[in-house]
Structure 1
Amino acid sequence: MARPSEFDRDEAIASAIRVFARHGYEAASTSDLIEGMGIGRQSLYGAFGDKRRLFLEALRRYSGGSLAQMREALAGGACARESLEGALLAGLGDADDLETGCLGVGSIVEFSRSDPEINALNDAAAALVVAAFAARVKDGIAAGEFDAALDPQAAGRMLLTLRSGLKVAARGGAGQDELREAARLALRGLR
């Protein structure tokens, strides 16, 4: 009979996300994961199977959390422009804490389009983000904040691209003021 896990799975995955964000998939060793997660080697393999399955679960969890942060920001704000700005700037991470890097962007850079499972996870996450941005752009068009000729889907894709770039810039050392300025400049283009 298998022994029950002696660790909190949610905490272990949150810790694995930090390790993968710091090192990337390839460079994160089993020792890094065991130390970062605070579990034993046998527990890691027993609970997650292998490093790859742990990474896929961590990426899934990270993407869900990132989307939840964005949706919360999109629901706030006095107007569509303010809520889009909030969503663009939510949870970007920073250069001083390497464990706050974006696992999604990191996996795209590391794997490109070479891994079908990672592609599927990233593509699904991107589609949800684009849809959330597009819905808020539609609200902005209806309220007269944005150009009526805008294609909300195209604007959503542009905002996803901007958000990815902002995450890279934050990781590269850009400060909040610089990131906010870039977001505001892009949003002015929607008017």
Structure 2
Amino acid sequence: MARSKEFEENVVLERAMRLFWEQGYEKTSLNDLVEKMGIHRRSLYDTFTDKHTLFLKAMDRFGERMAARWEASIKQASTAEEAIRLVFNLVIEGEEDTPAGCMLVNSAVELANRDQSVDEKTSYGFAKSEQLLTDLVEQGQREGQFSKRFEAKELAEYLHNALSGVRVMARTSASKEKLHRIADLSLDILKR
């Protein structure tokens, strides 16, 4: 007779995601995962197959989490400019009790050039972010907030690049004031 699981899969996946987010894939050992997740090594293998599969599921979880956070921020905004500013603020300020930066950006830097699965997941997440930004820039251009000097897609690519840089810098000792200045300039460029 098979034993029933003695843990909630979503809860332990969330714990693994946070550990990978904070430490990265290479630095996170199986022992670290077992300890942080509060499960036995056998349960980790039975539920998630191996460390790499667990990491990919954690990346998916992070992507879903961030998409929901971005959408919630955007819904609060009354203009496209305000929506983009709220996205920058979310990236800069982070959330209480979460690691700094972005797990997708961290994973892309650490692994994408040598792990096709990670490259596919990060590329997909980045494409979704760029599309969301394209939609906001198009809205801002229609409403006269942003210049039409450049195509919305080009501006969204620029914004995504700026956001990616801010995500990396958020993991360093860079001040939030500096990151907000970068956000301000990025928004100003949309109007030129």
Gapped regions of structure 1 (runs ≥ 5)? none
How many equivalent pairs are there? 190
TM-score (norm 2): 0.91
- Partners of 1:93 and 1:54 in 2: CA distance: 28
After TM superposition, list the pairs within 5 Å mapping 1:93-132 onto structure 2: 99-132=99-132
Q: Deviations over 1:45-97 (max 9, x none)?
A: 11100000000000011011112211222222232111101112214566x97
In structure 2, the partner of 1:185 is: 185
Aligned to 2:2: 2
- Say if 2:92 and 2:180, in contact at 8 Å, map to a contact too: no
Residue 41 of structure 1 pairs with residue 33 of structure 2: no
Instruction: Name the SS for the 1:10 alignment partner.
Output: helix
Q: RMSD of aligned C-alpha atoms?
A: 1.9
State the 1:11 CA deviation: 1.1
In structure 1, C-alpha distance between the alignment counterparts of 2:171 and 2:56, rounded to whole Å: 22
TM-score when scaled to structure 1? 0.92
Residues 14-72 of structure 1 deviation map (CA, whole Å, 9 limit, x = unaligned): 11011112221011000100111111111111110000000000001101111221122
* Percentage of identical aligned residues: 31
What is the aligned partner in structure 2 of residue 140 from structure 1?
140
Q: Map 1:19-168 onto structure 2 (within 5 A).
A: 19-92=19-92, 99-168=99-168
Report the residue type matching 2:74 in the other structure. L
Letter in 2 for 1:6: E
Moved over 4 A (4+): 91-94
Give how far 1:10 is off: 1.0
Are the aligned partners of 1:88 and 1:159 in contact in 2 as well (CA < 8 Å)? no
Contact preservation (8 Å) 2:141, 2:147: yes
Opposite residue 65 of structure 2, the aligned amino acid is G
Q: Structure 1 residues 25 and 13 mapped into 2: Cα distance closer, same or farther (>3 Å)?
A: same
The amino acid of 2:44's aligned partner reads L
Structure 2 counterpart of 1:138, one-letter code: E
Note if 1:18 corresponds to 2:18. Answer: yes
Please give the secondary structure, in 1, of the residue aligned with 2:26: coil
| Matched AA of 1:182 | I
Q: Distance in 1 between the 2:89 and 2:13 partners?
A: 24
